[in-house]
Amino acid sequence: MSFEIAKQAIDYLLDEKRNFQEDGVIWDFIGGEPFLEIDLIEKICNYAKLEMYRRNHKWFNNYRFNFSTNGLNYHESRIQKFIEENHSHLSIGITIDGTKLKHNLNRIYRNGKGSYDDVVKNIPLWQKQFPKEGTKVTISSDDIPYIKESVLHLYDLGIHEIHINCVFEDVWKEGDDKNFEKQLVELADEIIDNDLYKDFSCSFYSEDIGKPLKDNGNWCGAGMMLAVDASGFFYPCLRFAAYSLRSKKPIVIGNVKDGIDQNKLRPFLTLNRTTQSRQECIDCEVAGGCAWCQGENYDAADTNTIYQRSVAICKMHKARVRANNYFWNKLYRKLELQGTRDDFEKNRRKVKPIVC
């Protein structure tokens, strides 16, 4: 992305107060690897800060710069200078997949060498600078055997919050749900038996999931955010950009010059659960927490619509619900026998769900 495109996008957002009435803004930088372009990012962030201030925009009082990084150059002076200059407005997540073996399966340099060691050496600095930040892990079929050891390993590295979810794409094989459930039950045993629940959290386990749903809201936030690509085209989420889609045409909702075509946003802002779901999903007794990605729904749909919910994740969600039930039943029984349930309730860690 050129600075000029970024500048136009910022100007558009700040000019269009009528269409962006939220109290705050998150400027989210997604790569590739965003910190490879730290000079550009610094220039963009400085422009955003100056413009929010110069225009007396309310977002100056409530903004964040958000980064998901592979962490490889986190220690470099240019990155550290940027962090020092913006620390109170930064949210930085370093992506580490789990154990060395698991991480190096997918995250390798051009020469084939795994990147685990280079990432891990930056974790202490990152945790020192951002002790409340967690990491985000995405599970696909081949990752299932590594779930338990990976989460425990991330805890060992000092990461207290693990945001973890299954991919929404239809990658699941026969028996994956059973193996997934087994991993989550074993992980539950480790967390509870070793009292890890006191200081660590894993988003697989949540009391909010696995109940019938009465709420008719949309799960996914596509359309509530604005994504801009390097050429200056706007999308309801980057999952609708050409490079994110397998077979469908991108859904472009505008560009930095002409602004947003509000008509293209209407379907996103009126989506609800029942309109896009099959009857079995509407009636599902464990629907709570069953997530969907609007972009994947669109990509997998029989027609060019965002109104056909993909159910590829169904078996995995049900497996998660069973393991989740096991987790809470076991944990509460332990706490009750110990007489510490009240203490737990009072001090329990709150995990903010991150879905994609």
Partner 1 sequence: MTKKLIGQVTPEERTEIQTLFERRNGLNELAKILTADNAELYEKLVKDLGETGVRFQRWWNQMAEKYKWESVEGGNWEIDFNTCHIFLVTQ
Partner 2 sequence: MLQYLNILLDDSAVSFCHYEAEKEQRLMSIDTLRAGIRFAMMENLMIQYVFPDNTLPKEYYSVIETIDHFNIKRDGEDSDVCVVENWDFSKANANVPIVVRTTKEDLFQKYQLLNGIITQAKRINIIIKKVDSFNNDDFEEYKGILNALGEQVERAYIDGLSPQLNILTDRMMLKEMNNCGAGETTITLAPNGKLYVCPGFYYDDEADCIGDLENGLDIKNKQLYRLDHAPICRHCDAYQCKRCIWLNRKTTLEVNTPSHEQCVLAHLERNASRELLQNIRKHGTSLSMQEDINEIDYLDPFDKRDDWK
Distances from the Cα of 82 to the Cα of 6, 44, 202, angstroms:
18, 12, 30
> In whole angstroms, how close is the CB of 60 to partner 1 at the nearest point?
5
- Using the rule CB under 8 A, which residue among 56, 247, 263, 347 binds partner 2? 263
> In whole angstroms, how close is the CB of 62 to partner 1 at the nearest point?
6
In sequence order, which residues have a C-beta less than 8 Å from that of residue 343 and are 6 or more positions away?
none
Nearer to partner 2, 14 or 300 (CB): 300
- Whether 23 contacts 62, CB under 8 Å: yes
Q: Which residue has the tokens 């200078």?
A: 81
> In whole angstroms, how close is the CB of 302 to partner 2 at the nearest point?
4
> Is residue 266 involved in binding partner 2 (CB under 8 A)?
yes
The secondary structure of the chain in percent helix, strand, coil, rounded to multiples of 5, reads 45, 10, 40
Partner that binds at residue 61, options partner 1, partner 2, none, CB closer than 5 to 8 Å by kind: partner 1
Binding site for partner 1 (CB under 8 A): 46, 49-50, 53-54, 60-63, 85-89
Partner that binds at residue 113, options partner 1, partner 2, none, CB closer than 5 to 8 Å by kind: none
Partner that binds at residue 62, options partner 1, partner 2, none, CB closer than 5 to 8 Å by kind: partner 1
> Is residue 267 involved in binding partner 2 (CB under 8 A)?
yes
Q: Which of 138, 136, 150 is nearest to 183 (CA)?
A: 150
**For residue 195, what is the DSSP state?**
T
Nearer to partner 1, 63 or 233 (CB): 63
> Is residue 275 involved in binding partner 2 (CB under 8 A)?
yes
> Is residue 194 involved in binding partner 2 (CB under 8 A)?
no
Partner that binds at residue 266, options partner 1, partner 2, none, CB closer than 5 to 8 Å by kind: partner 2
Q: Which of 228, 202, 150 is nearest to 351 (CA)?
A: 202
Q: Which of 152, 243, 161 is nearest to 193 (CA)?
A: 152
Q: Within 303-340, where are the H helices?
A: 314-338
The 290-329 site mask, x for binding partner 2 (CB under 8 A), equals -----------xxxxxxxx---------------------
- Using the rule CB under 8 A, which residue among 43, 49, 107, 264 binds partner 2? 264
For residue 68, give the H/E element and its range: strand 63-69
For residue 234, give the H/E element and its range: strand 233-235
Nearer to partner 1, 62 or 270 (CB): 62
Q: Which of 76, 147, 163 is nearest to 354 (CA)?
A: 163
- Using the rule CB under 8 A, which residue among 19, 46, 62, 272 binds partner 2? 272
Q: Within the chain, where are the H helices?
A: 3-15, 38-54, 77-86, 100-106, 116-120, 123-129, 147-156, 176-193, 262-269, 273-276, 279-283, 294-300, 314-338, 341-347
> Is residue 19 involved in binding partner 2 (CB under 8 A)?
no
Alpha carbons 231 and 217: distance in angstroms, whole number: 32
Partner that binds at residue 94, options partner 2, partner 1, none, CB closer than 5 to 8 Å by kind: none
- Whether 207 contacts 169, CB under 8 Å: no
Partner that binds at residue 131, options partner 1, partner 2, none, CB closer than 5 to 8 Å by kind: none
> In whole angstroms, how close is the CB of 164 to partner 2 at the nearest point?
30
Crossing angle of helices 38-54 and 77-86, in 10° steps, is: 20
Partner that binds at residue 263, options partner 1, partner 2, none, CB closer than 5 to 8 Å by kind: partner 2
Partner that binds at residue 262, options partner 2, partner 1, none, CB closer than 5 to 8 Å by kind: partner 2
- Using the rule CB under 8 A, which residue among 147, 202, 226, 251 binds partner 2? 251
Interaction site with partner 2 (CB under 8 A):
216-217, 251, 262-264, 266-267, 269-272, 275, 301-308
